[in-house]
Amino acid sequence: MSFPRKLVLLGATGSIGGNSLRVIRRHPDKLKLIGISAFQNGEKLGSIAREFGVKKIHLSQTPSNIPELPNGTEFTSGAEALLDLASWDEADMVLVAVVGAAGLPPTLAALEAGKDVVLANKESLVVGGSLVMETANRTGARILPADSEHNAVFQCIQGQPQKSLDSLALTASGGPFRNLPLEELSKVTPETALKHPNWIMGPKITVDSATMANKGLELIEAKWLFDLPPEKLHVLIHPPSLVHAIVKFKDGCCLAQMSPPSMTFALQNAMLYPERHTGVDEGLDLSASLDLSFSPPDMERYPCLKLAIQVLRDDGSAPLVFNASNEVAVEAFLANRIGFESISSIIEHSLNLFEHRSFSTLDDLLYLDEEARLLAKQAIVKFA
């Protein structure tokens, strides 16, 4: 695909949205922002529209006041119009930075329309991996991974045939409670869980990093993106977050990707792929000492990761139930309705009680997703 690329950014007001805008500002000759979306933050969306002169803006929730917009900007709202924006003829590339399973329908719409998709939203692959991959394969649309670990794998496997891959490890910082005595996990509050040691991210993924549900979601994401069986997908705790993934090849050699913990590296790599240009943030100083320590995770400390590894083997509804119950539980934890340790209990409870079945269409999936959320909401009362 040639440059400049006309880009639609879904979830422009969030943490990934903000880092994507930093990359776009750095490369105005390569990337033209033409469409943006958010859930309800019309004010911030309006200010992005004015700065970049975008042509279309979309809010999922209908606002009471339409934000002030540049002349000629089209404003839409509602679920259907988000799909229109994701599949807009004028766009070359769609960056999906929406949080949660809500990212799936626009991801599918963009792929169906043959767009290159820069995918930050991991939940879409977790809940609808087979639909997403089938759509991309059928239309020839490319998925460019922007989650830092998956982008790292993507970089390491360039020019390597799929059959040369042996296994891979995604790294994790271990989150803010890596060294907390286990008996103190029950006292963890949203304020302490939202203080990630290395990364500045949106609230949902920050809590997911503390429970390591995030790494579980990422294992499922990796299964779909790189077509490796569950036993070939590993997690390593690497506290400084400098190495993002390690790929082992059949000959026993490993390649790893390294950069400081900022999402601009992965986002720029995906948005400008296959070109490399000066980035937004400074890369590593190779004259300084580097901490390259790695260790396997303690599953007693991270029960959400343990559950995700069980779910990884299931191609039916289990990943969907894992994701839906995690989304519901994290929201309840952030609202101080349940304790930190109840997040894993609610996921486990939902996985055990759900009437699991397979699905083949988006409508079936959305129906099951709704059912799983209802079950998890009932469990909130039980585990409050």
Contact status: 201 vs ligand NDP (CB under 6 A):
yes
- Piece of the chain touching ligand NDP by CB under 6 A; list 120-128, 154-162, 227-235, 350-358: 120-128
Give me the 89-108 binding string for ligand NDP, x by CB under 6 A, dash otherwise. --------xxx--xx-----
Contact status: 348 vs ligand NDP (CB under 6 A):
no
Q: Give the contacts of 282 (CB within 8 A, at least 6 positions apart).
A: 260
Identify what 75 binds: Mg ion, ligand NDP, none; CB under 5 to 8 Å per kind: none
Do 216 and 308 contact (CB within 8 A), yes or no? yes
Identify what 262 binds: Mg ion, ligand NDP, none; CB under 5 to 8 Å per kind: none
Q: Which of 147, 221, 327, 348 binds Mg ion (CB under 5 A)?
A: 147
49 or 256: whose CB is closer to Mg ion?
Answer: 256
Contact status: 173 vs ligand NDP (CB under 6 A):
no
Contact status: 324 vs ligand NDP (CB under 6 A):
no
- Piece of the chain touching ligand NDP by CB under 6 A; list 115-123, 229-237, 274-282, 303-311: 115-123
208 or 248: whose CB is closer to ligand NDP?
Answer: 208
Contact status: 135 vs ligand NDP (CB under 6 A):
no
Contact status: 375 vs ligand NDP (CB under 6 A):
no
Which strands, in side-by-side order, build the sheet including 74-77?
74-77, 56-59, 31-38, 5-10, 93-96, 116-119, 143-145
248 or 268: whose CB is closer to ligand NDP?
Answer: 268
10 or 312: whose CB is closer to ligand NDP?
Answer: 10
* Single-letter code of the amino acid located at 146: A
Dist CA 257 CA 315 (whole Å) = 29
The site for ligand NDP (CB under 6 A) is made up of 11-17, 38-41, 60, 97-99, 102-103, 120-123, 147, 199, 201-202, 204-205, 263
